[in-house]
Structure 1
Amino acid sequence: MGTLVIATSNLGKLDEFKEMFKELPVELKCLADYPPLPSPNENGRTFAANAKTKATYYAKHLNEFCLADDSGLEVKALGGEPGVRSARFAGDEATDKENNDLLLQQMKFQITRTCRFRCALAVANPTGRIVAETDGSCEGMLLHEPLGENGFGYDPLFWSTELHKGLGEATAEEKNKISHRGKAVRKLIAMWKKAANNKNGKRQEKQGRKYSNEQQVNGKAEQENGASKPEREARPDTKPEVKPESKPEPETN
């Protein structure tokens, strides 16, 4: 896989993917590297459904392998909202700040602030067929106000119970270790490595069988050739019997 298109125009997401894929021999591109395309309808009820829709759509239109993710924040007190509507919580063209402000407004009098980030990844080949899927989640608490200036989306409102700090305070390296997207990407990379190892193993096994078959054929041919040789060739140490010459008798008159 030479080129992998990340189905996003979100530069924050692209930077995260580049950091996580930096050790793989793959060139990452995003939608901004191609002529504009209409966005597919993301009307799935789950993150996985939307990820597959986007991966298939962009892979077929761009004729490239495409990785799409659908991710969002699920807040327990809101019954899992914003969920699949996370990017459009305050409207189709809402900014991160507008989404955050609306969420804080709806959570203003809530005591229970348990929440989690979830991510679903899907990879499609240029024909649009889904060839890999993974997911990941990150547990935490919703803050009462933004904290830190790092990250994007709802990161400034998310307190990580694993890092014991806000994602808005975390470095990119810290976030990738525990984030929903980081966990999903590591699963994906592990799947690719396993598939590559299995492919190499099957190739070696096939080569081994081919070599074994050739050895058997050669051995059988040698046996057949040996059985058809004359006995004297089979036993070169046996000398032919030589009879002594008889002397002629003298003539009598």
Structure 2
Amino acid sequence: MKFYLGTTNQYKVRELASVLGPLQIPLVVTDPIDPEETGTTFAENAAIKARAYGLHVGNTVRELYQCSGLSSMEANAATRAAQLMTISEDSGIVIPALGGLPGPWSARFSDYDLDASRRRVRTYRPSERPREAMDAANNARVLELMSHIDPAHRAAKFVILLVVADTDGNMVARFHGEVSGWITTETRGTNGFGYDPIFASERSFGKTWAEIDSVRKNLLSHRKQALQEFTVWLGKQLRTGV
């Protein structure tokens, strides 16, 4: 069994690889196809990406088999027999005081117009910012929206849905993880990515996730939780072949 990582975010690639590395699972990063995420929940977007990346890997491998002389039917059979799987995810931060935002729009939150209540996204205006600039803009927007909110109401949680799909685009398994904490009043730390500089938790002793090293973060994170479920599932697959 071989796994392809379906993400264009290199920070996520490194984090996934560092957690899965000790298991010696063959991992390959797919081509960056960046499917349009039109869902309004983490589950919907995770399913969109899982199907897109699963089909992308499947079509690529089938084409290679056909180029080697196999018929279309033989290429399909060979691709399925290879037991190739993709790992895709959708993740983000949920803040109750903001009506659940940024939520599924976490990755590009600063590129969305908000409605009058400032608790729902409206129009998407892509800025084409590089990832680091987007992260900084997202954090700045969250801090601005929460500038009037007192410490007792700054709760937040990181959420992830991780999905395994086959090369026909079918979802094979799904895993969930979440970690609770709170939003700080300013950015702190230079490690990590995304909302790490403004998210603190009791398990990080009040430090933001950008103030702790990657090893400790990987032990605490929502991604680690989902991957622990994944490893239990994978162990069963390897033992039983089902």
* Offset at residue 141 of structure 1 (A): 0.8
Shift of 1:30: 2.2
User: Relative to structure 2, which stretch is displaced further, 187-196 or 11-20?
Assistant: 187-196
2:237 maps to what in 1?
195
In the TM superposition, what is the alpha-carbon distance from 1:195 to its structure 2 partner? 3.0
Tell me, yes or no, if the aligned pair for 1:141 and 1:161 is still in contact at 8 Å: no
- Superimposed CA distance per residue, residues 155-178 of structure 1 (whole angstroms, 9 cap, x where no aligned partner): 000002222121011111111111
Match in the other structure for 1:137: 178
Instruction: Identify the residue that residue 224 of structure 2 maps to in structure 1.
Output: 182
> Which secondary structure does the structure 2 equivalent of 1:65 belong to?
strand
Q: Corresponding residue for 2:11?
A: 12
Q: Residue 54 of structure 1 aligns to which amino acid in structure 2?
A: K
RMSD: 1.6
Q: How does 1:44-63 map to 2 (within 5 A)?
A: 44-63=39-58
Contact (CA 8 Å) 1:52, 1:123: kept in 2 or not?
no
Gaps of 5+ in 1: 203-253
Q: Which runs of 5+ in 2 are unaligned?
A: 59-83, 112-125
Deviation, 1:86, is 0.3
Q: Is 1:41 the equivalent of 2:41?
A: no
Mapping 1:84-123, distance limit 5 Å: 84-91=104-111, 92=126, 93-94=128-129, 95-111=134-150, 112-123=153-164
Structure 1 residue 52: Cα displacement: 1.5
1:74 aligned residue:
94
Q: Which amino acid aligns with 2:233?
A: M
1:168 to 196, 207, 210: 210
1:186-233 deviation per Cα after TM superposition (whole angstroms, max 9, x unaligned): 11111111233334xx9xxxxxxxxxxxxxxxxxxxxxxxxxxxxxxx
Partner of 2:169: 128
Partner SS, residue 110 of structure 1: coil
Bigger Rg, structure 1 or 2: 1
Tell me by how many angstroms 1:25 deviates: 3.1
TM-score (norm 2): 0.76
Query: More deviation in 64-73 or 150-159?
Result: 64-73
TM-score for both structures, normalised by structure 1: 0.73
Deviations 1:2-33 (A, max 9, x none): 3x2211121111110111111223232223xx
- Alignment check: 8 A CA contact 1:77 1:114 kept: yes
- 1:65 aligned onto 2:85: yes
Task: State, as a whole percentage, how many aligned pairs show the same letter.
Answer: 35
SS in structure 2 of the partner of residue 115 of structure 1 = strand
Q: Aligned equivalents of 1:107 and 1:13: distance in 2?
A: 26
Take 1:162 and 1:5, find their aligned partners in 2: how far apart are those partners?
31
Q: Which amino acid aligns with 2:22?
A: E
Deviation string for 1:115-165 (max 9, x for gaps)? 000000001011111111001001101001111111000000000222212
Please state how far the C-alpha of 1:107 moved relative to its aligned partner.
Answer: 0.5
Partner of 1:215: none
2:168 is matched by which residue type in structure 1? T
Give 1:47's aligned amino acid: F
Q: Detail structure 1 runs of 4+ shifted over 3 Å in the superposition.
A: none
SS in 2 for 1:68: strand
Give the distance between the partners of 1:15 and 1:61, measured in 2 at CA. 21
Task: Decide which moves more: 144-153 or 190-199.
Answer: 190-199
Distance 1:198 1:124 in 2: 19
Higher RCO (Cα < 8 Å, 6 or more apart): 2
